[in-house]
Each structure stands twice: as structure tokens, then as C-alpha cells.
Amino acid sequence: MSKFRCQQNGDSAEVWIYAEIGEGWGWGISAKDFADEINALDVSDLTVHINSPGGDVFDGVAMHTVLKRHKAAVTVTIDGLAASAASLVAMAGDNIEIAQGAFVMVHHPWTFGMGNASEFREIADQLEKIGESLVRIYAERTDNTETRVREWLDAETWMDSDEAVSNGFADALTDQPAIAASVDKRLFAHAPDRLQVAAKISKPAPAAWRLAAAERALTFMRG
């Protein structure tokens, strides 16, 4: 399946996000491409399928906003994994469903960086601001306190399907079993062992992506 697919049928449409969020990874889904596709849909019902390890937080915020602004009733279905920035996109659903055995992961935003001490302090300040915006989005959609959400983000929290529903990150379980998640566990600090059973372990992030992420951080910081 391609990294991003959109299919319309009359007054409804389905979208599949089955890749990293953002093109900084070299092969992910950019917010611009996503917005172009979604904004072109003149439908009243939109279903968004997610199986993604996340990626660029700025693209994730933009994709979340695009879905929230669309006139359609949005149903998000977490087919395998909605981690990091992908979990943020999932929060745009008017209704969020999760497959049995699927996972949701939330954590604070992070980045690579280069520069002197002053530049690193500025990067840290920006990350804190971004993190607080994520806290507000998660708290509002899940009906949890911001304090509780911060605790989940502090811990890099992985939730299975039952926990996601219990914690408000999904509204209901689907009858379908989860598909294989595409994730490299080495990119995360606390990925659960049980994820390995459901995951298709990908190759490590290439050096080119690491450099692109660092350059993006500096470009944002220097504005």
C-alpha cells in the first residue's frame, strides 16, 4: 500500500495514513500533500485510517488542524499504531475507533540539534511551548486534566487498545484485529515488549534523516 491513499465514494471518503508524518524522514506524508487531498474532498463523512510511528510534530499539528476544519464528520480508525505525531492527528476525530491489539503512544516532542549553548536553550524553550500545545489538545479531546496528560507525556506512554479507550484516546474498539504496526522500536525509549509481536521492525533511521532533522530544528530556531 502506498504511503498515502485517498478514496472517495459519493458523499463519503476514506484516507489511509500508513507512513511517517512529514517529509523530513525522506519518505513520509507531508502536511501540504495531506491538506491538498483533504481540502479537495466535498464530502459529509470522512474516515481516516492510521498506522504510523509518527514523525514531524509541526506536520502533525497542521494535519490535525486540516481535519478539524473540514466540514465532514471525521471518524479516525487506528488500524495498528498511532504513535507520537500520529496520535496527535488521531485526536482530530469526532469519533475515534481502535482495532483490537492496536496501540497509541504519546510523548513530549523531541528533536536533534546543533549549535552553541544559547541556541540549545532556545531550542529547549521552543520544545516546551510545542509540548504545552500538545498537552492542551490531548486534554481537551480525552477529557483528562492537563496534569494527567503531562504525566503520560513525561513517561512516553504506550497504551494498548483497551487502555486507549479507558484513558479517552479512543471512543470504542472495532471488531477488526490490528494490522502489523510499522515501527522501529529503537527510536523510542519505552516501547513495550508486546509491541514486538505486532510490529514489523523497520530499518534504522538513515544518517540523511538525522541531518535533515537537525537542520530543520536550527532553521525553525533562527526563523
Distance CA 154, CA 103 (A): 18
Full residue range of the structural domain in which residue 193 is found: 4-222
Residue 56: predicted pLDDT: 86
Q: What are phi and psi of 153, to 5 degrees?
A: -65, -40
Q: Which pLDDT band holds residue 195 (cuts at 50, 70, 90)?
A: low
Among the ranges given (60-64, 120-124, 126-130), the one the predictor scored with the smallest mean pLDDT: 120-124
- Looking at the structure of the chain, the number of domains it has is 1
Residue 183: predicted pLDDT: 59
Average pLDDT across the chain, whole number: 82
Q: Which pLDDT band holds residue 188 (cuts at 50, 70, 90)?
A: low
pLDDT per position as a tens digit, 2-45: 467 889 999 999 999 998 998 765 568 999 999 999 999 999 99
The pTM of this model reads 0.80
In 32-156, beta strands by DSSP E: 45-52, 73-83, 95-100, 103-106
Q: Which pLDDT band holds residue 96 (cuts at 50, 70, 90)?
A: very high
Residues known to be catalytic: 84, 107
Name the most confidently modeled range: 24-28, 33-37, 52-56, 180-184.
Answer: 33-37
Give me the torsion for CA of 21, 27, 29, 32, rounded to 10°.
120
Number of H-type helices and E-type strands within the chain:
8, 10
pLDDT per position as a tens digit, 133-171: 899 999 999 999 999 999 999 999 999 999 999 999 999
Whichever domain contains 56, its CATH number is 3.90.226.10
Residue 130: predicted pLDDT: 80
